[in-house]
Amino acid sequence: MSFLLRPLNTDNPDDSDGIVKIEPTAAFTIKSKLASCSKPNFSLGAKVFINVCYDEQVPKPDVDFNPSIVYPLIMSNRWEIPIVTSQMREDRDKKGSVCYVWDCCINSKCIQWIGKDLQLREILVEWCIESCELREAIEISRDAISFPKMKKKGDHIPAIEVLAKELGHNFEKEIQMFQERKSDPTVILELRRDLLEGEDPEYSDDDRLPPLFPQAAPAEGKKPLIQEIENLTLSPGHAQLQSGSSQRHLRDLNYSVIMGKATENEAKIKIEICSELASPDDYDVTYCKSDNKLVIKNKDLDVHKLKTMEILLPHLVSTYEPRMEMSFIKRENKLSILL
């Protein structure tokens, strides 16, 4: 999938154009390895760190984040989170080996969005990696990604100076470069539980970001977190019902899902589902322990076509016997599930 991003060039700014000095605040760190490079000053296989930061001076998208609106826009390359990317700097890992560090700074409001929506957090991680790759003409490994237990790599994050006019610049050339490089529409939205949960035990500095989830064994394969199942074999009773209902022009049903860390009671995970269903009685929600997933179906088969969705849960859930609590906000048609 091709997408929009804004890695801003901060080299040799012209003072006459006006300079914006950004003071990044650290949020969390991405760790990986250098997979390939065309420059002699890089060591292939060296560790790379990307400090994801925020500052209110960085622009935010024109459209505020709303999952049902934004995700279709992302898939059609019409929504982005602007990123200000610093120059690369060398540092040392805990073993004394050379590593490379970048700072990717987004708007303060955007950091709140990714704190509430795991899918958007995953997309931002990919955008930050792509931004560093574009700036240095390198490739960073996607197989070695982890999240150290620290907010930042390094003692401090330097200020980033950018031209004021660049904060609103249209980076059509950069966008075209990525359109040529990315053709698979599942590259960004193929969510993996190991990326959402993975932490790096090598780094456990005092100045660390509390983990989103405790460390878990890596997921096998690359299953998406959410799968919609369209073609199902129905039982004879269901088949008869669907046949009779088809004459009444059954409507399609769409689910919008947000999954994040729960703050209510003793629950660990909170899942919110919005759809056209107007009652909690219209939902059939089942937890499948063998696959550690939720299976969501609609019961109103006289109004909507049968729509089944599978939500793969973080490995944390499989370590205990989850108790499911559900509530429904009628004015928003929102089903809330606590695990």
Q: Is 264 exposed, middle or buried (0-12, 13-18, 19+ CB in 10 A)?
A: exposed
- The band of 71, judged by pLDDT with boundaries at 50, 70 and 90, is confident
Residue 198 has pLDDT above 80, yes or no: no
DSSP 284-301: EEEEETTTTEEEEEE--T
- Within 13 Å and on the Cβ side, how many CA atoms surround 101? 19
Model pLDDT for residues 28-39, shown as the tens digit of each residue: 999 999 998 877
pLDDT of residue 135: 84
CA dihedral 82, 84, 89, 94 (to 10 degrees): -50
Q: What mean pLDDT do residues 131-146 have?
A: 89
Question: What domains sit in the chain, N to C, each tagged with a CATH number?
Answer: 15-200 (no CATH), 226-338 (2.60.40.4160)
- Percent residues over pLDDT 90 in the chain: 27
Residue type, 307: K
For the entire predicted model, the pTM comes to 0.54
Nearest to 55 by CA among 114, 108, 121, 115: 108
CB 6 within 8 A of CB 169: yes
- The band of 299, judged by pLDDT with boundaries at 50, 70 and 90, is very high
Tokens for 179? 């359109």
Residue 81 has pLDDT above 80, yes or no: yes
Q: What mean pLDDT do residues 78-97 have?
A: 90
Most confident listed range (6-10, 52-56, 57-61)? 52-56
| Alpha carbon distance 99, 89 (integer Å) | 9
- Percent residues over pLDDT 70 in the chain: 68
pLDDT of residue 229: 55
98-106 vs 47-54, strand pairing mode: parallel
CB 83 within 8 A of CB 50: no
| Alpha carbon distance 231, 229 (integer Å) | 6
Residue 220 has pLDDT above 90, yes or no: no
Nearest to 130 by CA among 194, 188, 184, 195: 188
Instruction: Please give the residue that has the higher pLDDT: either 48 or 293.
Output: 48
Most confident listed range (39-48, 86-95, 305-314)? 86-95
Most confident listed range (16-25, 49-58, 233-242, 287-296)? 49-58
Most confident listed range (109-113, 114-118, 204-208)? 109-113
* Neighbour count for residue 160 (Cβ, 10 Å): 22
Q: What mean pLDDT do residues 188-192 have?
A: 39
* Neighbour count for residue 52 (Cβ, 10 Å): 26
| Non-local CB neighbours of 11 within 8 Å, separated by 6+ positions | 87
Angstrom CA distances, 7 to 119, 129, 173, stand at 21, 11, 12
Of the candidate ranges 207-216, 251-260, 269-278, the one whose mean pLDDT is the lowest: 207-216
pLDDT of residue 39: 75
Instruction: Please give the residue that has the higher pLDDT: either 149 or 179.
Output: 149
CA dihedral 119, 122, 128, 134 (to 10 degrees): -100
Q: What are phi and psi of 114, to 5 degrees?
A: -75, -20
CA dihedral 229, 331, 270, 325 (to 10 degrees): -90
Three-class secondary structure assignment of 235-272 = CHHHHHHHHHHHCCCCECCCCEEEEEECCCCCCCEEEE
Angstrom CA distances, 89 to 93, 198, 322, stand at 13, 25, 45
| Alpha carbon distance 170, 20 (integer Å) | 18
Helix (H) or strand (E) run with residue 111 in it: helix 108-116
Residue 298 has pLDDT above 60, yes or no: yes
| Alpha carbon distance 148, 198 (integer Å) | 8
Most confident listed range (54-58, 208-212, 219-223, 290-294)? 54-58
